[in-house]
Structure 1
Amino acid sequence: MSERWARALLSSYRLAGAAVYPLIGTYVAWRASKGKEDRTRRRERYGLAGRERPSGPVIWVHAASVGETIAVVPLVQHIVGYGVNVVLTTGTVTSAHVADERLGKGVIHQYVPLDLKPAVSRFLDHWQPDLAIIAESEIWPMTILELGSRRVPQVLVNGRLSDRSFKSWKKRAYLAEALFENLAHVVAQSEADGERFQALGARPVTVSGNLKVDTVPPPADEKALASLQRQIGRRPTWAAVSTHDGEEAVAAEVHTMLRGRHRGLVTIIVPRHPERTDAIAAQFTAMGLNVARRSAGAKVTADTDILLGDTIGEMGLYLRLTEIAFVGRSLTSEGGQNPLEPAMLDTAVLAGRNVQNFREAYQRLIDSGGAKLVRDRDMLAGAVNFLLVNEVARHEMMAAGAATVDQMRGALAITLRALEPFIQPLVVKARLERPGGR
């Protein structure tokens, strides 16, 4: 009965998607007006291709946003190295910039089609992928069903199910099983994630570790870095990165609490969503703080309090300006953000207690002494003050974090082994179709 109900529900989803499709333009236009969609490439969201399909096998790799895109970059580079075409889709403007910056013309980038049958079908009709690789927790019912109906193998890599997502799917286990049976393989981040996918009906499941550990540190423009380092000089710094609503104000309050103790303190604040920075800058100014906005090319002067990192793709720059980083979406929001990039760039990592989405990474860093969780603003201020004052403790924490990241590497090799049965036939096919068979 539950299986029949799941099929009926998914059929209803399919019909509802087809019904609202003609009306979805208003929603996409609104997102574009907010800077959440690329105005010049909105057609791609409807499945209309911006490029011709190349000859030979095509692997479709999907990574929703910045973190997922960074995680799959080494994997995509390996696939391209095999001589197989890759179409990489992402869902945000920021992730598209990251893809262009790190992969360039080596792959075809498209914005992911909306999870509505007309858009998905149009996308698949054009690209005709031989394999679909989906990163992390992107479970889009219509896309999964359409790929399944076309018998295109689907592999979920770096798979993760948050506490909230697992509870939600568990309540609808019959629906989860109807979807997950379409997955040819799940490569999960952790043992806990693997057990959750299995509980929801996924088979087979491999545990790899986190692909984000096997990425290279985020790059930085050397001239820009040298210029900012000259402007800051020997002044003490700390950073609050990937912050969400409310956390920027907390960081600014911490700055106000500490600047009397640490003369010339510069606080670097990098919001997760740069489109919010007009309001954030106005809030800081109302607090009596002097703000230098990176997007405006403003210099850090003697009276600058806050360097506001409101640019895209420069996290590597900001993290190289400090040795202390608070990682957001963990104090006033829930789930946490990736602490691995700060750790691999030799920064002492601080975060709030709501880091469920990166539980294993934080646990490893905490156990080694590379990270510390704080309860609230006052505890954050105390931790930053302690690290600014105690150079030995700060450097021990930095070294512990970097060493922990090194110990966690290996997910890419395991993922490639899991993908080998799906990719190798396409490698052979690509070689046979190439002029001269090479």
Structure 2
Amino acid sequence: MSVRSARALLGLYRYCGAAAYPLMGPYVAWRVSKGKEDKARIRERYGFASQQRPDGPLIWVHAASVGEAIAVIPMVQLILAYGVSIVLTTGTVTSARLVEERLGDSVIHQYVPLDLKPAISRFLEYWKPDLAIIAESEIWPMTILELGSRNVPQVLVNGRMSDRSFASWKKRPNLAEALFENMAHVVAQSETDGERFRALGARPVTVSGNLKVDTLPPPVDEAALSALKRQIGQRPTWAAISTHEGEEKMAAEIHAALRKRHPGLLTLVVPRHPARADELAAQMTSMGLGLVRRSSGEPVRADTDILLGDTIGEMGLYLRLTEIAFVGRSLSATGGQNPLEPAMLDTAVLAGQNVQNFRDAYQSLLKRGGAKLVQDRNMLAGAVNYLLLNENVRRNMMAAASATVQDMRGALSATMKALEPFIQPLVVQAGLRRAGKN
């Protein structure tokens, strides 16, 4: 297929999206029933605005979910300091809450419209962004095409191309080139990601590092932290965080195996999706373990085996209660979750070997000795046991993890440098508009 034919095919795809639009109702309703959508704001997913567009230049920033939102918040704050308005979209209920907590009304938050022509067109026609900055690991063709048809510069920041996505796009190189030619700039996380975007036709591509490294450590409610520390006292602890199905049960089994060797052991289990908490609580109590759900407000007692972290936005709390953290989606699932938050908080990092989505972060941590990969449940149990027994080894891992994060910083300044040619004209425009009103 030639690039010309690929462009024609993408044009047809835009109108197929319009045909599919009426069929999305049942799907969105299902997501609402599962708590994955905000029922009160569901019209935003169809591109209907729920707030007034401000006068003057406007930048659309999109961050897919919690991780991306955390990563772009420092960037958003720097742009806001220039006096340019931002409409910030996210795709999940939890990320919307995070934006409200950390940015308040300094930005306009909307849920991202569905990647279908009617929804995207309605969104763009209302907000009329002068620039789109996208932090998203998925590629949404309709959004890219609709922005391109309106000549809105679009910049992908913190860009990552997974092994699976790259293999898929490589089978359709002309289609990829016809899509990525709409990008004004790609700011990739790593040299590997950068090379992959270049191979698919993106130009220009620069490498910044991972924006998540330049964020502040996850915040904490100091009063809640002090209360839990008093309840836990000197008990040994370890955590299994960002876990996926199968990994919570594994953590509970490891706890049951280790508590005889480590009297008073407390295991923190923080699932990636807190909506699974009812199921997990039932599963662990059926194993004869004493469990306290963080959401219940009940204190951690001397006979509590598991503290189930079923709340949103409290990762900073959980990580400050331990010095050892297994990072999930790496044993029973694939791809891994972000190890940088525990590393920022001086935590020894353990993970399975399926960490492709955060390969560069793990390579840096492994090189410095801040992380260790395990093959299975038994090897994880052995690693937790070893770190609990050997304080010097544990402290060295903790220090190495923290030092690794410090060495990786700099992505924010590199990203802002790449964005400067796009933002500065809007800063001038906003300044002239304010001067004209005075």
Pairwise TM-score range, normalised by the shorter structure: over 0.9
Query: Which residue does 1:250 correspond to in 2?
Result: 250
CA contact (8 A) 2:131 2:153 kept: yes
Separation of aligned partners in 2, 1:136 and 1:113:
14
SS at match of 2:186: strand
Alignment partners' CA distance in 2, 1:126 and 1:138: 24
CA–CA distance in structure 1, aligned partners of residues 298 and 393 of structure 2: 33
CA offsets per residue over residues 104-133 of structure 1, 9 Å max, x none?
111111100000000000000111000000
Equivalent position SS for 1:302: coil
Aligned to 1:312, the other structure's residue is in SS state coil
Instruction: Letter of the 2:394 partner, please give it.
Output: R
Please state whether the residue corresponding to 1:155 is helix, strand or coil: strand
Q: Deviations over 1:188-247 (max 9, x none)?
A: 000000000000000000011110100000001111111111111111100000001111
Q: Output the amino acid matched with 1:159.
A: G
CA drift of 1:435 comes to 4.5
In structure 2, what is the equivalent of residue 411 of structure 1?
A: 411
Structure 2 residue identity aligned to 1:171? K
Residue 276 of structure 1, CA deviation: 1.0
Task: Please give the secondary structure, in 2, of the residue aligned with 1:109.
Answer: strand
- 3-state SS of paired residue (1:219): coil
Q: Distance in 2 between matches of 1:400 and 1:136?
A: 29
Whole-angstrom CA distance in 2 between matches of 1:50 and 1:28 = 18
Equivalent position amino acid for 1:199 in 2: A
Aligned to 2:124: 124
Inter-partner Cα distance in structure 1 for 2:14 and 2:148:
14
**Residue 12 of structure 1 aligns with which residue?**
12
15-24 or 221-230, which moves further after superposition? Answer: 15-24
Matched residue, 2:291: 291
Residue 5 (structure 1) shift: 3.2
Residue 397 (structure 2) aligns with: 397
Distance 1:435 1:290 in 2: 64
Contact 2:62 2:136 in 1 (8 A): no
Once the two structures are superposed, the pairs formed by residues 15-414 of structure 1 within 5 Å of their partners are 15-414=15-414
CA deviations over 1:146-169 (Å, ceiling 9, x no partner): 000000000000100011110011
Deviation (angstroms), 1:437: 6.6
Shift of 1:45: 0.2
Tell whether the 8 Å contact from 2:155 to 2:187 is kept in structure 1 after alignment: yes
Q: 2:425 matched to which residue of 1?
A: 425
Q: Distance in 2 between matches of 1:310 and 1:175?
A: 42
Q: CA deviation at 1:436?
A: 5.1
Aligned-pair CA distance for 1:354:
0.4
Contact conserved, 2:268 with 2:306, CA < 8 A, in 1? Answer: yes
Give me the whole-angstrom Cα distance separating, in 1, the residues matched to 2:34 and 2:175: 34
SS in 2 for 1:103: helix
Question: Hey, what's the Cα distance between the residues in 2 that align with 1:84 and 1:137?
Answer: 25
- TM-aligned CA deviation for residue 172 of structure 1: 1.1
Mean Cα displacement is larger for which, 16-25 or 354-363?
A: 16-25
The residue identity in structure 2 corresponding to 1:69 is: A
8 Å Cα contact 1:431-1:437 kept in structure 2: no
1:277-304 deviations in Å (ceiling 9; x for gaps) = 1111111111111110011212211111
In structure 1, distance between residues paired with 2:370 and 2:185: 33
The number of residues matched between the two structures is: 438
| Ranges in structure 1 where 5+ consecutive residues have no aligned partner | none
Alignment partner of 1:144: what SS? helix
TM-score in terms of structure 1 length: 0.98
Q: Distance in 1 between matches of 2:98 and 2:379?
A: 34
Distance 2:213 2:362 in 1: 12
In 1, Cα distance between the equivalents of 2:360 and 2:334?
16
Amino acid at match of 1:146: E
Aligned residues of 1:169 and 1:200 also touching (Cα < 8 A): yes
Please give the per-residue CA displacement for 1:292-324, whole angstroms capped at 9, x wherever unaligned: 001121221111111000111100010000000
Q: TM-score, normalised by structure 2?
A: 0.98
1 CA distance for matches of 2:339 and 2:34?
28
Q: Does the Cα contact within 8 Å between 1:148 and 1:182 map onto a contact in 2? A: yes
Local SS of the residue matching 1:303: coil
**Partners of 2:17 and 2:116 within 8 A in 1:** yes
Q: Is the 8 A contact 2:159 2:189 kept in 1?
A: yes
Q: CA deviation at 1:137?
A: 2.0
Question: 1:360-410: CA deviations, max 9, x gaps?
Answer: 100000110100001100000010011111111111110110011001000
* Structure 2 unaligned spans of 5+: none
- Identical aligned residues as a percent: 75
SS, match of residue 434 in structure 1: helix
In 1, Cα distance between equivalents of 2:199 and 2:285: 51
Aligned equivalents of 1:379, 1:5: Cα separation in 2: 52
Alpha-carbon distance between aligned partners in 1 of 2:103 and 2:138, rounded to the nearest angstrom: 21
Contact 1:211 1:411 in 2 (8 A): yes
Q: Secondary structure at the match of 2:27?
A: helix
Q: Could you tell me how far 1:2 is from its partner in structure 2?
A: 2.3
Report the Cα distance in structure 1 between the residues aligned to 2:121 and 2:96, rounded to whole angstroms. 22
Q: Deviations over 1:326-363 (max 9, x none)?
A: 00010111111110110000110000000001101000
